[in-house]
Chain A
Amino acid sequence: MSRAEQIVSGLARRQRAEKRFRAYGITAILLGMSFLVLLFTSIIANGYQAFTQTYIELPIYFDPEVIDPNGDRDPQALFSADYWKLVKTSMYQQFPQVSGRSGRREVTRIMSGGSAFDLRERVIENPDLIGTTQRVWLVADDDIDMLMKGYIDREVPEDERRLNDRMIGYVDTLDEAGIVERKFNTTFFTAGDSREPEQAGILGALMGSFLTLIVTLLLSFPIGVAAAIYLEEFAPRNRFIDLIEININNLAAVPSIIFGLLGLAIFINWFGMPRSTPVVGGLVLTLMTLPTIIIASRVSIQAVPPSIKEAALGVGASRMQAMFHHVLPIAMPGMLTGTIIGMAQALGESAPLLMIGMVAFIVEPPSGFTDPATALPVQIYLWSDSPERGFTERTSAAILVLLAFLVTMNATAVYLRKKIAKRF
C-alpha cells in the first residue's frame, strides 16, 4: 500500500469519527433545548393566567356621607373613609333579592377587598368624584377569578369546592349582564405582597432583587477586578499569597447559606445594620459573588497574550498603565462573563437572604436600600408555600418575571461586551 493509499484508508475513519462527534454534539444541544422548552412551557402554562385578572364593572355611588361626612375634603378623612361600604352598597343593589346577613356576605365576597383601596385611590386623586355615580371596573375575589379561569369544577359536589352553587349563580348573573371581564393584571406589577392572591404583586420582590443586585454589582465588580489585578500583576509570589489564592478558590465552593449566617453575625448583629434590607442582602451576596468574579477575572487576565503587556512596558508604560490601557480592555469581556455568572447566581439565591431576614412579609415595595424588602426567589418560595390556587399561578408568573430579569441582565452584559469588543 502506498503512503497516499494509507492516508486515504484512514481518512474515511477520521471523517466518520468527526461525523459521530458532531452527532453527539447536536444530540446534547437538542436534549438541552428540549428540557429548556419543557421547563418554559410548563412555567408559562401555569403562569400566563396570572397576567390577567377578573374585573367586575359596578356602578359606584361615591356617597359623601360615607367618604367625607364633614364636607371639608380633609385628606386624612378621605384616606380613612370606609370605601368597602361603597362596594357593598353597590353589590346589594345588584342583587336586591338577597337578604339576611349570611346571604349578603356571600354577595360581597364576590369582590376583592382590594377594590376598596382602588376606590380610595381614585377619590384621593380626584375628589370631585364625591357625590357622583360612576361605573368602575373593580377587582373580583380570587375565588371568582379562579372560577372564571376554569379552575373550579362546577360538577364537583358543592361542599367540596370553594364556591357554593348560590355564589356561582350570582357570578353567572353578573357575567350574563356583561359586566365581568378578564383584564390585564396591573396589580401584579404594581403591588407588594399580600395575603390575598388578587391583591398580591411582584413589584416589592422585584424592587428588592433589583436594589440588592445593584449593591452586589457595585461592590463585587470593582473589588473582584481589583483583587484579580493585584493578584495577577502586583502580588509578590510567596506563601501568604498562595494561601490567599487557595482560600479564594475554596470560598467559591462554600454553600451560600454560610454566607447568610456570616452576614447575620457581622453586618446585622455586629455592625447593627437594619435587618431585611437590600443593603445587607447586597453585602452578603457580594461575599458570595466575589470568588466567582475574582477567579473569572484572573483567568481572563492570564488569557491576554503577554506580548501585549511587553509591548506596553517596552515603550515605557508603567505596570499599571500596561494593565489598564492594554490588558484590562482585552480581559474585560471575560471579566464581564464572570460577573454575569456571579450576578445570575446572586439573583437566584434565596438561602442567604433567608438568614438575614429578607423573607419577611412585606407589603410596601421598597424604595431605598435600607427599606425592608424581599427578593424574587424568596417571594417565589413564599408563594409556592401558599395553598390558594391564585398563588400557584402567581408563583409561576413570578418565575417568569425572574427569568425575564435574568434575560434582561444577561442581554445588557452581552451588549456591553459586544461594545467593548468592537472598540478593537
Chain B
Amino acid sequence: MTGTPWGPDPRMIPYAGNPSPSTPSRAPAGERVGLHSGADEDPVVRPFMLTGGRTRPLRDGLRIETLLRAAPAALSAPLRFESRRIVELCQAPMSVADLAVALRAPLGVIRVIVGDLITDGYLAIVEQLSELPTSLIERIRDRVRAL
C-alpha cells in the first residue's frame, strides 16, 4: 500500500535523484539532469522534477478550475517548498490553474503536488455543484453584462 503510489509512473521522465518523496528538490543530480549546474546540455529544470518524476496525481478529479482550500493548521506542517507555498496560497480558495500561475509550474506538476497534499489531509477540494442551477447561470450572465 505504501509502496505503490510512489512507484515510477510509466510515462515518467528521467529523474536521476532519489525518488523518495522526502527528498529535497536540490538532491544531487545525475548525469542526465542538470538541476543547478546550468552548464549541461539541458539547462532547463525538468518540470516533473518537483514531483520526483511522477506525472499522475494520486487524486483524480482535479480539474484546472477545481478550487482548493487549506486548513490553517496545515501552515505549521513540515512541508517542503512548493507544498508549503500551495498551503499558504490556499488559505483562501484557489484553483489549480491559479496555483500553476503563482508557482510558475505546469498544471500537471501542480496536480501531482496537490494530490499528495489532499491525500495527506493538508488540502481539501471546495466541492462544487454537480449541475449549476438556472438562477446561477442567470447570475453569471448578469454579472458579466455589468462588468
Chains A and B come from one and the same complex? no
Name B's A-contacting residues (CB within 8 A). Answer: none
Name A's B-contacting residues (CB within 8 A). Answer: none
